[in-house]
Amino acid sequence: MHEIAIIFLELGGIILGLGVIGSFALRVGISPIPLYLLAGLAFGHGGLVPLATSEEFIHTASEIGVILLLLTLGLEYNADELMTSLKGNARGGIVDLVLNAAPGAIVALLLGWGWVAAVAMAGVTYATSSGITAKVLSDLGWVGNRETPVVLSLLVFEDLTMAMYLPILTAILAGVSFATGAMTVAIALATVTVVLVVSLKFGKYIEAFVKSPNSEVLLLKVFGLTLLVAGIAQELQVSAAVGAFLVGIALSGELAHEAQALLAPLRDLFAAVFFVFFGLNTNPASILPMAGIAVALALVSIITKVLTGHYAAKRAGIGRAGRARAGVALVPRGEFNIVIAGLAVAAGAHPDLGPLAAGYVLILAAFGPLSARMLQPVITALADHPEEKLIAIFRMRRSSAQE
């Protein structure tokens, strides 16, 4: 059979299957993300029916999915809101780094993998999946909640930390000199600074360039600009996701709303492919020997992320329900974590690091969205209702005293 025909058959089967899975998830009232991941496992390395020719295309599509997820999140906020949120949540970002990097590093050291593997595992357990969290916020209608800017500021803090961490990790794994490693980090920091300054100071000029009365032209301009900035950011050792997020930040007002409406179908399509690709690259057989450690590490990470969200939201004056939602939203792991583990395994840090990271990320990538949806009514009942009752009692007592 012709190669193009095989690619079309594989892609058609995958996308149609995702549609059926999504329909089932909507019917039973759960997030489709864990089901997308399981579909990837079924068709990936070591799965039931491995793909033959379309994996490279799916890889590229999955990267676009992450970029679009972060772009649409950035469109929700302007540059001033971002800077205010980052300044107000700097302590939360530091708490996030300490609480969530420590478990991975400690486990690696306890297993005797050495300090290089410990540095890599610290990154694996630290970073929340921006892509999955963005999808959770969108699916559950939490984007407009008061705690969402706190969650986003923590995600941006993590992405900016990754912009420094990834060059350092790469230098450690490659065994390069301190001067070379320092230069790589300096380039990454300079890139982030330039993009932030452009977003803050010249956002109105970017809007004037992108704006168009024609929806087709607007879509092409926004999408093309986002891919261009993401590519530049990636080439300069900064996450493409950070670049896409900052493009969204640079656009505001009515233009941002129009762009969101146009990009939503593309975002949903490519985001679904991203979750499938994650499963495609995970061999179920390699995970089993490290499953016990992965589960234990995942449980610890759930606790530390919930504590992080609670702390940051409390500092921002958010109520108990919002604090709980912020913590749950930060639980998923995904794209960054797998990239970090891949770099470490390729450099020969330790052969068991990859399977442990894959099992760990798979658990939290699946459990995060499920827990957010399942705990939503519990959060509302336990956090909001007691406050309402206390207010009602206080008002009743005050009314009686006045009489």
Report how far residue 88's alpha carbon sits from residue 314's, in angstroms, rounded to the nearest whole number. Answer: 12
pTM for this prediction: 0.69
| pLDDT for the residue 283 | 72
The DSSP call for residue 89 is T
Q: Which of 100-109, 136-145, 222-231, 255-264 has the lowest mean pLDDT?
A: 136-145
User: What is the structure's pLDDT at 96?
Assistant: 95
User: Under DSSP, is residue 283 helix (H, G, I), strand (E, B) or coil?
Assistant: coil
The answer to whether the CB of 65 falls within 8 A of the CB of 270 is yes
Tell me which of 31 and 99 has the higher pLDDT: 99
- Indicate if the pLDDT at residue 399 is higher than 80: no
199-217 pLDDT, tens digit each = 677 777 888 888 888 999 9
* 292 has pLDDT over 80: yes
CA distance 324 to 145: 12
Q: Which two tokens stand for residue 70?
A: 């972060």
Q: What pLDDT score was predicted for residue 45?
A: 64
pLDDT-wise least confident of 163-177, 249-263, 276-290: 163-177
**In this structure, what DSSP letter does residue 381 have?**
I
Phi, psi (degrees; rounded to nearest 5) at 157: -60, -45
SS3 call for 227: helix
| Mean pLDDT of the residues in the chain | 80
- Examine the pLDDT at 29 and tell me if it is beyond 80: no
- What pLDDT was estimated at residue 401? 46
Is pLDDT above 90 for 279?
no
Model pLDDT, residue 389: 46
Q: Which long-range contacts (CB under 8 A, 24 or more apart) does 4-7 make?
A: 6/52, 6/53, 6/54, 7/53, 7/54, 7/57
Residue 396: pLDDT band by 50, 70, 90 thresholds?
very low
Stretch 15-24: mean pLDDT: 89
Report the distance separating Cα 389 and Cα 398, nearest Å.
14
State both tokens at 165.
Answer: 């961490």
> Could you tell me the pLDDT band of residue 337, with boundaries at 50, 70 and 90?
confident
pLDDT greater at residue 36 or residue 76: 36
